[in-house]
């Protein structure tokens, strides 16, 4: 068997020996040309640098593409940290305005809000009641009732938690209602999704005397422990006729594209337990 292989190799070399000899002389001539001629040597070096830089650039782009996911997760984590700082600063400023006078020494309040970054592992937008799942659960501090946002606005509320996963009721769920406000005003309404279009929702119970313009922003009201105030929800498209003459309805284009939902952040409110217990407390006066 080995003899046959050797014989085949010799036959191949003999058959193409002329080409091998030609290639050898070409390489030898190029070596002599570029080694003993300064002009051709400089041309060779510059060409080699161009080719080398092109190859390195291509390799860098390819490896960079495969690292986009880790880069995106890192950016999302940094963004979550910055948003957490903004929320807590807003809370501290509000506390200072309402509880502290100019003559009272400022004492730092503990941070109220925190974010837990998570990845959406499955999602639906085609049903009347939509849900999505995330890759974080009870072991990561996720609890039922926590609000969920992405980089564009609110997306849902946690309703079931496992050890390392959780299910979220999507904003695109006909059973859910969210307390929202027309940004820059004190007018509060209730936002809900009516089905069909995953980009359109409606704000009901807006007072008849409320003034708005197309393009105004709808934000969370802050009147719950689920979402802090001022988180974007959508953009006003137009006014819709209401069955109640005392109120009107706003058609809203949601700021989040739920069909492309990927990285989200779960909001952890340190005051949630105490505030919820106060809301559920039944006051009984002394007889």
Report the alpha-carbon distance of residue 155 to residue 118 in Å, rounded.
13
Q: Are residues 123 and 24 in the same domain?
A: no
Q: Which domain holds residue 124?
A: 112-270
Query: What is the tens place of the pLDDT at every residue in 241-282?
Result: 777 778 899 999 999 999 999 889 999 888 777 766 666 655
pLDDT at 16: 77
CATH number at residue 151: 2.40.10.340
Per-position DSSP letters for 33-66, written without gaps between them? HHHH-HHHHHHHHHHHHHHHHHHHHHHHHHHHHH
pLDDT at 25: 76
Q: Is residue 134 domain-resident? A: yes
Does position 104 have pLDDT exceeding 90, yes or no?
Answer: no
Q: Which helix (H) or strand (E) holds 6?
A: helix 2-15
pLDDT at 50: 56
Q: Are residues 46 and 123 in the same domain?
A: no
Average pLDDT, the chain: 79
182 burial (CB, 10 Å; 0-12 / 13-18 / 19+) is buried
Q: Is residue 35 domain-resident? A: yes
Query: What is the tens place of the pLDDT at every residue in 147-187?
Result: 999 989 999 999 999 999 999 999 999 999 999 999 999 99
pTM over 0.85: no
Q: Is residue 74 domain-resident? A: no
Query: What is the tens place of the pLDDT at every residue in 187-238?
Result: 999 999 998 899 999 999 888 888 899 999 999 998 887 898 889 999 999 9
Q: Are residues 119 and 261 in the same domain?
A: yes
User: Could you tell me which residue, 40 or 119, shows the higher pLDDT?
Assistant: 119
Does position 18 have pLDDT exceeding 70, yes or no?
Answer: yes
pLDDT band, very low/low/confident/very high, at 21 (cuts 50, 70, 90)? confident
Q: Is residue 185 domain-resident? A: yes
Q: Is residue 194 domain-resident? A: yes
């Amino acid at each position: 068997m080995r003899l046959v292989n050797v014989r085949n190799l010799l036959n191949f070399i003999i058959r193409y020996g002329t080409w091998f000899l030609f290639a050898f002389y070409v390489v030898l001539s190029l070596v002599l040309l570029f080694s003993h001629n300064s002009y051709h040597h400089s041309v060779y070096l510059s060409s080699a640098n161009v080719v080398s830089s092109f190859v390195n650039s291509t390799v860098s782009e390819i490896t960079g593409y495969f690292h986009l996911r880790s880069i995106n997760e890192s950016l999302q984590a940094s963004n979550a940290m910055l948003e957490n700082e903004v929320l807590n600063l807003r809370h501290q400023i509000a506390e200072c305005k309402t509880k502290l006078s100019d003559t009272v020494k400022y004492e730092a309040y503990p941070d109220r809000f925190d974010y837990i970054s998570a990845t959406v592992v499955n999602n639906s937008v085609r049903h009347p009641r939509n849900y999505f799942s995330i890759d974080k659960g009870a072991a990561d501090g996720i609890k039922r009732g926590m609000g969920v946002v992405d980089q564009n606005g609110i997306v849902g509320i946690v309703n079931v938690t496992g050890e390392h996963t959780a299910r979220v009721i999507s904003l695109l769920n006909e059973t859910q209602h969210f307390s929202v406000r027309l940004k820059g005003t004190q007018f509060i309404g209730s936002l809900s999704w009516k089905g069909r279009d995953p980009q359109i929702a409606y704000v009901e119970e807006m007072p008849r005397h409320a003034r708005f313009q197309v393009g105004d922003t709808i934000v969370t009201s802050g009147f719950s422990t689920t979402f802090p105030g001022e988180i974007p929800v959508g953009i006003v498209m137009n006014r819709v006729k209401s069955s109640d003459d005392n109120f009107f309805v706003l058609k809203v284009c949601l700021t989040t594209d739920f069909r492309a939902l990927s990285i989200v952040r779960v909001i952890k409110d340190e005051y949630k337990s105490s505030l919820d217990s106060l809301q559920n407390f039944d006051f009984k006066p002394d007889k």
